[in-house]
Structure 1
Amino acid sequence: MTAMTSTLTKELTVNRSDWATPPADADGWIARAHEVAAILATDAVERDRAGATPTAEVALLKEAGLVTLLGPTEHGGGGQNWITAYAVIRAVAAGDGSIGQLLGYHLLWFWAARLVGTREQIAAVEAAATQDRWFFGGAVNPRDSDVVVTDNGDTISYSGRKSFSTGSNVSDVTVLEGVLSTTGEHVFAIVPSNSEGFTFHDDWDNIGQRLTESGSVTIDNVTTDWASAAGFVDKAFAPRVYNSLNVPIIQLVFVNFYLGIARGALETAVDYTRSSTRPWLHGGFDRAVDEPYVIDTYGDLLTKLWAAEALADAVAVEQQAIHDNAWDVTAEERGNHEVRVAAAKAQATDVALEITTRIFEVTGARSTASKVGLDLFFRNVRTHSLHDPVAYKRREVGRNLLIGELPEPTWYS
């Protein structure tokens, strides 16, 4: 991280003895996530402008214990489920959308062993990841050509390039995925991010989510043991439906950090309207908070946010039932759930974009000053919401309603 005297950097020098013990329940973890968000929010605009590698921010997530939220309690983890995880992601994203995304992606990749690993691999990975507080990155962008996996006998090697690799430059381990050159089978593995053959390129230069370290990566003969190949036993893979749940999980991660960003935008705008927005000189009101159109706009935006949050929460509960039945979930259960995830994604995208745009209508022209930073919320949502077309999410919902079609598992559905 480049030299900077930000509030965050100062906060990290404080001995946070209240974080030494993990919270006892979900409410405690969510409260801690709000504490982290409050720290991040104090200089989010400054850090976005600096564009420095978020080393201190990841250290903050580790210090707060959020990186081990899903880890087994016997190894010092939070022992929480995805219902809590989504609420935590949403809370952190309200303070800084980039860090909310980093946390969300990390939690997905932390869970990757459960998605495709054997029971023995799951236990081993989660023990090590929790005890050592690994931070996960991933080099699995499906829009690029497949990484080639070579069977070397006792080891496998990955070679290729991915144009996006969120978090890997600040990660301890990276999830790799590629296609075995001999069989065409997909092979996932978790490897140290400092492994020989990785080159993380500092080329993420987008208008939003600027601190997610989402630049490209070159993978040149990165080698690991066959034992690291998730779900493989004696070089054979036993597929199950749960393998494909990575997409519904990551889409709900998106939903929740979009809604977190929207919540942060709305709360920041409210504070600005109360303290700084001037009433319209021809409106007849002494305070902006008394302007009827201001009241109506805020009421409309909060109502829509509450509705989107309620749907997201309901779908998270539905997904948890699938996690609880991971070894026996059916294709129909998975498909019906993906339709609901698609609906939540479409609504969250629309609501977050509307909130982060319309807040300017009720904060006034002076709120567009760079130092205010309201544009950060819009830039963050607009950038990531282009990850995959929201029209195809509505298509999944519409085709299910009209003809009962269930989405085929893909990298995006």
Structure 2
Amino acid sequence: MPLAISKVSPPAPFEEPIEDFDAPAAAEALAGRLAASAVERDRAGGHAAHEREWIRDSGLLALSVPREYGGIGADWSTVYQAVRIVARADSALAHLLGFHHLQLAGLTLYGNARQQRRLYAETIAARHFWGNALNPLDKRLIATPSAGGWVLNGVKSFASGSVGADRLTVSAWDPLAGAPLIGVLPARQAGIEVQADWDAFGQRQTDSGNVHFKDVLLPEEDVLRAPGKPASAQATLRSQVAQLVLVNLYLGLAEGALNAARGYLREGARPWIASGVAAAVDAPFIQHRFGQFHLLVRPAQVLADEAGRKLDAAWRRGAGLDAAGRGEVAVAVAEAKVLAHRAALDIGSQLFELTGARSTGAQYGFDRFWRNARVHTLHDPVDYKLRDLGRYALDGSLPEPTPYS
């Protein structure tokens, strides 16, 4: 059944002076609030309507909006730092934050000046929360040309952030052109039904249900990219923005798992009887394994930060970005993606070998780190990142632009 979303009064605009906004501090404060209920909400799943308002209130939704439209105008490195901080406490809500900014990136990459001015200004004025109905692998949403735009009919799956969103970025297949279009729609308009039916065993509060469209008019003025329009090197940066959201989600999960294990070992764990020590943290095997965990996380952090800086440099080049510059960003992102993927899965699984049987109790919820990482790392196969890196290492071939590379 479609989710019934009650109408609410538009939220007050974000009013803190741009110059005074401290993004890492805002992210830390938000993470602290989310951490208090993260275990319980992860277990329950569903739509975290109340906690989404905390994200809205934090000011972090304005991070990537350019200053000329009333936003904070942060670079991507700052956006990703905020996503990573929040993901340590709650990777599902961090996903919503990151994907909000991914949708906004589409305005810069695909939209014209008039669309950017209108939609960015509306986002700031009403503190809009953006969601995604753009899954490129799902071609069931059909666009039919009509007077003044296109009529949309069909469904989109894996629509992260769609439940409770104010605006949706939408891709739909135009059979006549044999290509997709990309547009923007209000999430609550007639003909759009959002189903809160996401039931994976991880990332349970990412609001990633199915979105159904019935005779929905997408006006020409809200089409960001028409069907068949060739993508510039600049436009293909969207996949790199998306991939680095995932990289920093995985890193946040790895860091969160490490922090949880460290806290438990300091405060609640008992040393093994053969260790010869009074405190678990003094056991040499635990120290050895924590050293290994450190060497999983640290290189991934370094490569993720480097990839963020390369993306920022490419982003600043705008329309002047060429295929080679875009390809170098894709290589850096793939390197970070592989290591962050490994760190999140390995630490999320292996921490129990250090914390012991008692740490599997439901009250701790330590299993969520692995579950959330496992579900999300399946969204595009990491083996294809390794293939791209292998080609690059062998003959210098840069990754071909796709929605995932």
Q: CA deviation at 1:359?
A: 1.2
Query: What residue identity is the alignment partner of 2:180?
Result: H
In the TM superposition, what are the counterparts of 1:170-319 in structure 2 within 5 Å? 170-231=164-225, 237=229, 239-319=231-311
Scaled by the length of structure 1, the TM-score of the pair is 0.91
Distance 2:175 2:322 in 1: 30
Query: What residue identity is the alignment partner of 2:392?
Result: N
Residue 400 of structure 2 corresponds to which residue in structure 1?
Answer: 408
Q: CA deviation at 1:325?
A: 0.7
Contact 1:231–1:238 under 8 Å retained in 2: no
Q: CA deviation at 1:182?
A: 2.8
Q: CA deviation at 1:139?
A: 0.9
> Unpaired segments of 5 or more residues in structure 1?
3-18
Query: What residue identity is the alignment partner of 1:269?
Result: A
2:48 matched to 1:54? yes
Secondary structure at 2:215 match in 1: strand
Q: CA deviation at 1:303?
A: 2.9
Change in Cα spacing, 1:236 to 1:248, as seen in structure 2 (3 Å) is closer
Residue 319 of structure 2 corresponds to which residue in structure 1?
Answer: 327
Residue 32 of structure 2 corresponds to which residue in structure 1?
Answer: 38
Contact 1:72–1:130 under 8 Å retained in 2: no
Scaled by the length of structure 2, the TM-score of the pair is 0.93
Change in Cα spacing, 1:381 to 1:238, as seen in structure 2 (3 Å) is closer
In the TM superposition, what are the counterparts of 1:131-150 in structure 2 within 5 Å? 131-150=125-144
Q: CA deviation at 1:23?
A: 6.0
Distance 1:25 1:85 in 2: 16
Q: CA deviation at 1:409?
A: 1.2
Of 338, 344, 351, the match for 2:330: 338
In the TM superposition, what are the counterparts of 1:104-183 in structure 2 within 5 Å? 104-183=98-177
Residue 343 of structure 2 corresponds to which residue in structure 1?
Answer: 351
Contact 2:136–2:171 under 8 Å retained in 1: no
Of 85, 91, 94, the match for 1:91: 85
Residue 16 of structure 1 corresponds to which residue in structure 2?
Answer: none
Distance 2:387 2:229 in 1: 32
Contact 1:94–1:261 under 8 Å retained in 2: yes
Query: What residue identity is the alignment partner of 1:117?
Result: G
Distance 1:251 1:86 in 2: 11
Contact 2:168–2:186 under 8 Å retained in 1: yes
Q: CA deviation at 1:22?
A: 4.9
Distance 1:22 1:41 in 2: 27
Distance 2:126 2:15 in 1: 15
Distance 1:236 1:299 in 2: 51
Query: What residue identity is the alignment partner of 1:163?
Result: S
Distance 1:383 1:95 in 2: 17
Contact 1:34–1:92 under 8 Å retained in 2: yes
Change in Cα spacing, 1:239 to 1:142, as seen in structure 2 (3 Å) is closer
Distance 2:18 2:264 in 1: 33
Distance 1:184 1:244 in 2: 19
Choose 389-398 or 122-131, whichever is displaced more.
Answer: 122-131
Contact 1:248–1:338 under 8 Å retained in 2: yes
Q: CA deviation at 1:355?
A: 1.1
2:2 matched to 1:24? no
Of 360, 383, 387, the match for 2:375: 383
Q: CA deviation at 1:73?
A: 3.3
Q: CA deviation at 1:281?
A: 1.3
Q: CA deviation at 1:404?
A: 2.0
Change in Cα spacing, 1:238 to 1:129, as seen in structure 2 (3 Å) is farther
Secondary structure at 1:308 match in 2: helix
